[in-house]
Structure 1
Amino acid sequence: MRGLWAALLAAVVVVVSAGSPGAARPRPPGYGRLAASSAIVTADQATRAVYVLSPDQARWDADSGDGVLWSWSADDGEELADLGPGTSWTNPSEVKFRELDGRRYLLATASGGLAAVIGYPDRSVYWAADTGTGNAHSIDLLPDGDVAVAASTGGYVRLYAAAAGSRVTRHAQVALAGAHGVHWDPGTRLLWALGSRQLLGLRVGGDPEDPALSVVHRIALPTRDGHDLAPVMSSPGRLWVTTASAVYQFSTSQRAFVSYPLQSRINGPGVKSIGDDPRTGQILVARPEPGHSCAWCTSRLTLYNPDGSRTLLRGGMYKARWWTTRRD
């Protein structure tokens, strides 16, 4: 018996030695991840549709449905016919996934003016409105059921009393030149909004059927033309902020722009959307594709940590996000 234990101990020593720190190779970023990636949702201007896409495929084909897990367009059906989707659903711009009272929703806007909150997966309409010609560019759903919309050429952030009904257009409004992004942050309980030169922290007042907005923070951007605003899932209390020339992280507690991992690789011009997957930490970036027939669109998304790419065949994507209800 002693001989058997001695043999087993020797085998263990060999295994441990082979895996000792001195002999180990450097582990790549993301090594040892157990969680599966979140799905990806994108606004595709080529087909005027929103797609939820499999993260495990390198290429998706909307025509055949290969890699498409779910899709929606305001052009389908009659539920939004009263809002003139033929024009109001021109150039879909924003897509997000949110949860309210145990139900999940797709949030979408289009440059033509349509803003909508659509049930997932049943496609029922929670709220929708034609916001006009101000280029509706971003949207968020607040915990009280109201809906915030940022419009870039309109130069405003609106908080619609969506909790009062599916077509209610009553709203509070704050001026913000070049308003491109809006995000409800549960940590600060503020509605953050990104414009061409400023990042605003907005306090929500009133009640859901008659909301009010007031500015409590006004932060100058380091560079011009703010574009995307999204939570940093790996660092609660931070926001991704993109401008025409750079990608930043903003600390809501410090009210300052701060450095972040992989900044030297990710930072760059023209980023239309960015976000990190709460399941894996992988970073998803959409930026215009050189030579694309649409100057602000792309058929290819870029991934970091680990690096990679995903392609929507014949696509004209504008923004793309991880399909997650978290809003850290």
Structure 2
Amino acid sequence: MLLGAAGIGAGLALGGTGRAAAMPSGPPPVLITEQASKRLLVLDPAKDVWDPAVDPSVVRWAFSPVGDARYRDVAPDISWVYPSEAKVRRHGRHTFVLTTASFGFAAVVEWPTGRRYWAGALGPGDDLINPHTAEILPDGNVAVACSTGARVRLYAAALGPHATRYAEAELKGAHGLHWDADREVLWAMGDDELVAYGVEGTRVRPALVRRFGVPLPVATPGKSAGGHDLFPVAGTPGRMWVTTSASVFQYDIAGGGFTQDFAGAAEIVRKSVKCVGDDPRTGRVTTTVPEKGLGETWWTTTVSLHRPPGSHTYVDGGIYKARWWLPR
């Protein structure tokens, strides 16, 4: 069953049985933050061109909190502007989409129901916070990186969908987060460094403790690296994708170094890459890079594919990030 684009306010469209089907087998679908229409979309990987106005079947799932009573208290009319993250995670027996938006929205959304696991409004309408990504921890708590706010927050989301208690640590330009289950640390990336935080305290009163930090590679000595995307390398456990303003790297956790020795580096490595990720079954990599002439300078209509080269185009879109649909 394909999940269509209707009923977006509820985050899901259902087929005639009233039940949602699992994602079909084959190449993984693509999950995007579509800022022009303020939606998260899961799109058909078999189509080179995505044009829902002409072919609604390209949309397998859609989410927006606007008009959804389950998210009314976090004021999505104000806070859900420029959705900046969408990544899929498994927690317990459930699949969740983690999402943030630049004007303060942060949430963990159950797929496919759109049910609220947790959501918060981190200063709606106030760009001094700017949530840029999120991560869910094994105990059910949720970390949020606030780029303009220069902080990483760890919310006691295990207390419930409306929990507001949090711990925080300062990190200039906080952009990326990844929970490292093997080492039991929360990796966070800012403008200039990659940091590992230990999680201490209790489930209901957590604390973040800095354990380790390493400077990001810089293209020009004395200037900020501009750390942006941090994501696990699915095909090589123990490595993380790292993008900066000028380049793309993998960080070897055990070796403690940044490298560009990965397959396809000649085409993947370039400046202004907003997100990067690989499919472990095929080795294919997705990236997004801004293109000129759109509504915002950071938007694109193109999801680039590598190994082998290719692309998807979203008609009249404003894509920020695109990730393979790979629950982990």
> Which TM-score band (shorter chain)?
0.7 to 0.9
CA distance in 2, matches of 1:107, 1:266: 25
CA distance in 2, matches of 1:143, 1:280: 28
1:77-127: CA deviation from partner (whole Å, max 9, x where unpaired) = 211111111110011000010111111111100001100111100111000
Q: Which residue of structure 1 aligns with residue 6 of structure 2?
A: none
Q: Which residue of structure 2 aligns with residue 318 of structure 1?
A: 320
CA distance in 2, matches of 1:76, 1:324: 28
CA distance in 1, matches of 2:201, 2:141: 12
1:223-254: CA deviation from partner (whole Å, max 9, x where unpaired) = 21000000001110000000000001001111
CA distance in 1, matches of 2:27, 2:206: 37
Q: Which residue of structure 2 aligns with residue 131 of structure 1?
A: 122
1:264-283: CA deviation from partner (whole Å, max 9, x where unpaired) = 22111000000001232110
Q: Secondary structure at the match of 2:56?
A: coil
Q: Which residue of structure 1 aligns with residue 228 of structure 2?
A: 227
Q: Secondary structure at the match of 2:198?
A: strand
- Does residue 76 of the first structure (1) align with residue 63 of the second (2)? no
1:135-179: CA deviation from partner (whole Å, max 9, x where unpaired) = 000001111100010011000011100001111111111100000
CA distance in 2, matches of 1:213, 1:280: 36
Higher RCO structure, 1 or 2 (CA under 8 Å, sep 6+): 1
Q: Secondary structure at the match of 2:118?
A: strand
Choose 284-293 or 116-125, whichever is displaced more.
Answer: 284-293
Q: Which runs of 4 or more aligned residues in structure 1 lie more than 4 Å from their structure 2 counterparts after TM superposition?
A: none
CA distance in 2, matches of 1:176, 1:126: 26
1:56-93: CA deviation from partner (whole Å, max 9, x where unpaired) = 11011233523100000011321111111111001100
Please give the residue correspondences for 1:134-283 in structure 2 after superposition, counting only pairs within 5 Å: 134-223=129-218, 224-258=225-259, 259-283=261-285
CA distance in 2, matches of 1:161, 1:308: 41
CA distance in 2, matches of 1:322, 1:187: 22
Give me the TM-score of the superposition, normalised by structure 2: 0.87
Amino acid paired to 1:285? T
Do the aligned partners of 1:74 and 1:85 also contact (CA within 8 Å) in 2?
A: yes
CA distance in 1, matches of 2:316, 2:213: 41
Do the aligned partners of 1:38 and 1:279 also contact (CA within 8 Å) in 2?
A: no
Q: Which residue of structure 1 aligns with residue 46 of structure 2?
A: 56
Amino acid paired to 1:82? D
Do the aligned partners of 1:178 and 1:195 also contact (CA within 8 Å) in 2?
A: yes
CA distance in 2, matches of 1:297, 1:188: 35
Q: Which residue of structure 2 aligns with residue 27 of structure 1?
A: none
Amino acid paired to 2:204? E
Structure 1 unaligned blocks of 5 or more: 1-34
**Higher-Rg member (1/2):** 1
Do the aligned partners of 1:153 and 1:178 also contact (CA within 8 Å) in 2?
A: yes
CA distance in 2, matches of 1:123, 1:325: 16
Q: Which residue of structure 2 aligns with residue 287 of structure 1?
A: 289
Choose 122-131 or 252-261, whichever is displaced more.
Answer: 252-261
Query: 1:43 aligned to 33, 38, 56, which one?
Result: 33
Structure 2 unaligned blocks of 5 or more: 1-24, 219-224
CA distance in 2, matches of 1:36, 1:80: 33
CA distance in 1, matches of 2:164, 2:52: 33
